[in-house]
A = this chain, B = another copy of it.
Amino acid sequence: MPRDQETAMLPLAGMKIVELGHYIAAPFATRLLADLGAEVIKVEPPEGDPVRGWGSAVDGNPVWFSVHGRNKLSVTLDLKSPDDRAKLLRLCGRADALVENFRPGYLERIGLGPEALHGVNPRLVIARISGYGQDGPYRDKPAFGAIGEAMGGLRHLTANPGQTEFPPPRCGVSISDDLAGIYAALALVSACWGIKGNPAAKGRIVDVDLVSSVFSLMEGMLPEYGLFGWVRQPQGAAIKTAAPTNTYPCADGKWLCIAGNSDLIFRRLMTAIGQPGMAADPRFANNALRCENVAELDAAIAAWTRGVPAAEAEAVLEAAEVPCSRLYDMADCATDPHFRARSMVMEVADPLLGRVLHPAAPFRFDGVSPEAMLRWTGPAAGAHNHHVFGELLERDDVRPMAGTPESRDPHAGQKDA
């Protein structure tokens, strides 16, 4: 099927979004919406979203932004200028939704609060992302990067019990921004679903915060605390109630995660590592007994893994049908046959960077290939000023994104003159 026809089959084809985002949370929300087929107009200050200054660059073009800004149109506006604020309102007038992640109260202060936005478009969905939410006593506290992890309860758990020399490590990615972004996208599309086809429906205001987003993952810990006063403590790489299941050091300095805690798998595991005696030992006959004697088991398994490189140990255990995975680093991900076969890793032509690797969208739809979901790479700041202000606003009733020749233009990423 031709790419443009696939693109037209994306579920959000026809939805129009304005992004007033910077850094991670709001831009990640709109990137997902753009992957899903929505038209996303990213509004940046004249100097560009400051996230463009993060990480590596080629000839001044930031590498991460190739992914972070993909499938979006970029325009630049100076929100301090009344003319540019009027342009923003015109964009909102034709949009289904706006996503923003300024500090609570900022949009109101510059005259672009929900009242003003609903004044030009009463059906607009306004998704607001912030560190602590739009109200409450901490609303105005500075929301630094790790706040969601720390206050949402995650960071307390990401630790090795009894280990005091090293602090609990960060997640290693912007997990709280990402979660808030995905939740904002979900809430936004849900609000749009509620409005669609209902002429009486009014726009909505959505409030998503980083702390609640992380806190939402705390499983049964809150009711257990309320009922019994229990406070879940970190478990490191092991699971107290299942053995052996842990992460073991390998000869090449890498780690191998092994889930060997069912009776049958346990026996296969111990036989595979040359410990058939332990496989048959009544002291390890069931999970409860193995949990009691877990130190001995972990020591035996680690003694074996220490002598074998991670990929090799993984192959041995997979042949014995023992669930396991080495801890993939980016080289492992980029070269893995499954990642490549599923197009989870794709080679893409970026007009600003050359050939780059992109991750596929984390959802796929029958009839649309992952390649067709990636319409273009992250553009330069303001690359679509002329397209949006010169053309798009002039033909509001025409759906602009579904594979028009221009939207497939490989030069879309280049800087506007």
Residues of A within 8 A of B (CB): 10-15, 32, 36-37, 54-56, 58, 62-68, 132-133, 135-138, 141-147, 150-160, 163-164, 166-175, 178-179, 182-187, 189-194, 196-197, 204-208, 211-213, 215-237, 239, 246-249, 253, 255, 257, 259, 318, 321, 323, 325-334, 336-339, 341-342, 344-345, 347, 353-366
| Known contacts A11-B193, A338-B132, A363-B187; is-contact A154 B172 (Cβ 8 Å) | yes
| Known contacts A142-B323, A144-B323, A217-B178; is-contact A227 B150 (Cβ 8 Å) | no
Bound: A364/B205 CA distance, A: 8
| Known contacts A63-B220, A167-B248, A329-B153; is-contact A182 B173 (Cβ 8 Å) | no
Q: Is the CB of B150 within 8 A of A257?
A: yes
Bound: A272/B222 CA distance, A: 34
A208 (CB) vs chain B CBs: closest residue: B363
Q: Is the CB of B328 within 8 A of A150?
A: yes
On chain B, the residues within 8 Å of A328 by CB distance are 150-153, 155-156
Kindly provide the distance from the CB of A345 to the nearest chain B CB, expressed in whole angstroms: 7
Bound: A182/B287 CA distance, A: 32
Kindly provide the distance from the CB of A342 to the nearest chain B CB, expressed in whole angstroms: 4
A180 (CB) vs chain B CBs: closest residue: B362
Q: Is the CB of B362 within 8 A of A183?
A: yes
On chain B, the residues within 8 Å of A354 by CB distance are 227
Bound: A242/B162 CA distance, A: 28
On chain B, the residues within 8 Å of A321 by CB distance are 142
On chain B, the residues within 8 Å of A234 by CB distance are 169, 172
Bound: A207/B362 CA distance, A: 9
Of B137, B157, B189, which is within 8 A of A189 by CB?
A: B189
Q: Is the CB of B158 within 8 A of A169?
A: yes
On chain B, the residues within 8 Å of A171 by CB distance are 154, 157-158, 171
On chain B, the residues within 8 Å of A174 by CB distance are 217, 219
Of B64, B67, B135, B212, which is within 8 A of A362 by CB?
A: B212
Contacts A12-B194, A167-B248 aside, 18 further interface pairs with beta carbons under 8 A come to A36-B190, A37-B190, A68-B220, A135-B341, A138-B338, A145-B259, A151-B333, A154-B172, A166-B237, A170-B235, A178-B217, A179-B179, A184-B363, A208-B363, A222-B357, A222-B358, A225-B357, A232-B329
Bound: A212/B64 CA distance, A: 18
Bound: A222/B414 CA distance, A: 22
On chain B, the residues within 8 Å of A12 by CB distance are 190, 193-194
Q: Is the CB of B150 within 8 A of A160?
A: no
Bound: A287/B51 CA distance, A: 18
Bound: A318/B144 CA distance, A: 13
Bound: A182/B362 CA distance, A: 11
Of B133, B248, B365, which is within 8 A of A206 by CB?
A: B365
Of B167, B194, B205, B230, which is within 8 A of A13 by CB?
A: B194
